[in-house]
């Protein structure tokens, strides 16, 4: 998949929203690719591990499917847990392990080996190597190469949602941004420094590749486990991206999510929230963010939370060795000017 774009882009009308610069996210047509029946929106979702991407995407994809959209959800996290909520906690065979097993048996991977469906949502997991036994980023690349062999370019979806781990800086996890594999990205974060640090890094990556001629923009931020303190909302305002929705830190949501229950069903208590999110995801244009420097990111929080008032104290050599040293004068000979 060297220097090869996995998807064709979709044209968005240039607009300005929340201070961000709207992008023309179209990717030049490749004559070798067949014409798609639908204008597929490819959206990559990033966030800190454990922030709730899988929970958000399972419920979002389910709601979009009930609204009549054809959805493909692809888990791109080595933990392979993107689809667990969607399938009631059941593990989904990954593309990487299935491909390896089939190769040893001299067989080819088929769609039914790696793609599964529920109530209109189609889903699959790329997978990844075990700890210490391979590169997760390389696994992502291999996974997408397999998707191409399975005919990814000919598939007919309204939306393809890619769930990416955001707190890994390996190039494989940055493929959607670096290679224009998607038209836009979203970030999932909460009101904590670590998740906003990851969100800011994603915005920095988008800005960097945009300067290199890329077309990907940020559609916005989803605030999960929102406790109302406002740091994530303030971050979005300063960076120049919209808040797509805020999912409250509610015990009912936590309990149902823990029992692998879909709450994004039409008619449910939380249906309006995910219905609004589905609408915003569909219409939000990709914008060029303005990532924060480290000090500005810290300034989103009070000093007693981040310890910002601490002053750096330089260490001495004696601190490290436990032995006091006298400074020796240089033996360098300095001649007076003639």
> Residue 231: phi, psi to the nearest 5?
-65, -40
Q: CA-to-CA distance for 238 and 232, rounded, in angstroms?
A: 10
Active-site residue among 53, 69, 184, 256?
53
Look up 2 and say whether it is catalytic: no
Query: Residue 219 and residue 98: Cα distance in Å, rounded?
Result: 33
- Residue among 167, 192, 233, 265 flagged as catalytic: 167
Q: Does 163 qualify as catalytic in the annotation? A: no
34 is catalytic: no
The DSSP call for residue 94 is B
- 17, 36, 70, 79: the catalytic one is 79
Residue ranges of the alpha helices (H) in 15-135? 53-66, 95-104, 111-114
User: Is 48 annotated in the active site?
Assistant: yes
Q: Report CA torsion sign: 82, 86, 90, 96.
A: negative
What is the H or E stretch that residue 163 is in? strand 159-165
The Cα–Cα gap between 247 and 222 comes to 8
97 neighbors 180 (Cβ within 8 angstroms): no
Beta bridge partners of residue 161, listed in sequence order: 43, 73
Question: Catalytic positions, please?
Answer: 48, 53, 79, 167
């Amino acid at each position: 998949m060297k220097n090869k774009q996995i998807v064709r882009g979709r044209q968005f009308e240039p607009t300005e929203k929340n201070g961000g610069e709207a992008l023309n996210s179209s990717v030049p047509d490749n004559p070798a690719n067949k014409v798609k029946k639908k204008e597929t929106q490819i959206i990559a979702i990033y966030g800190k591990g454990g922030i709730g991407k899988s929970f958000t995407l399972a419920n979002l994809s389910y709601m979009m499917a009930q609204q009549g959209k054809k959805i493909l959800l692809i888990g791109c996290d080595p933990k392979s847990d993107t689809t667990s909520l969607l399938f009631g906690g059941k593990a989904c065979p990954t593309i990487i392990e299935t491909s390896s097993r089939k190769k040893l048996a001299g067989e080819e991977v088929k769609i039914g080996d790696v793609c599964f469906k529920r109530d209109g949502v189609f889903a699959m997991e790329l997978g990844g190597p075990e700890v210490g036994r391979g590169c997760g980023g390389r696994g992502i690349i291999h996974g997408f190469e397999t998707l191409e062999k399975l005919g990814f370019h000919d598939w007919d979806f309204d939306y393809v949602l890619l769930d990416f781990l955001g707190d890994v800086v390996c190039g494989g996890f940055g493929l959607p941004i670096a290679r224009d594999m998607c038209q836009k990205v979203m970030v999932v974060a909460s009101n904590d420094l670590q998740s906003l640090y990851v969100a800011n890094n994603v915005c920095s990556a988008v800005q960097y590749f945009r300067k290199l001629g890329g077309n990907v923009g940020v559609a916005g931020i989803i605030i999960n486990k929102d406790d109302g303190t406002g740091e994530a909302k303030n971050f979005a305002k300063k960076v120049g991206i919209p808040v797509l929705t805020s999912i409250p830190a509610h015990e009912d949501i936590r309990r149902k999510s823990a029992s692998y229950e879909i709450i994004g069903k039409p008619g449910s208590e939380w249906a309006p929230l995910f219905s609004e999110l589905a609408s915003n995801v569909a219409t939000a244009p990709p914008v060029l963010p303005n990532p924060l420097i480290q000090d500005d990111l810290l300034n989103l929080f009070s000093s007693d939370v981040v310890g910002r008032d601490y002053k750096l104290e330089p260490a001495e050599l004696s601190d490290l060795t436990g032995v006091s040293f006298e400074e020796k004068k240089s033996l360098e000979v300095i001649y007076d000017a003639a």
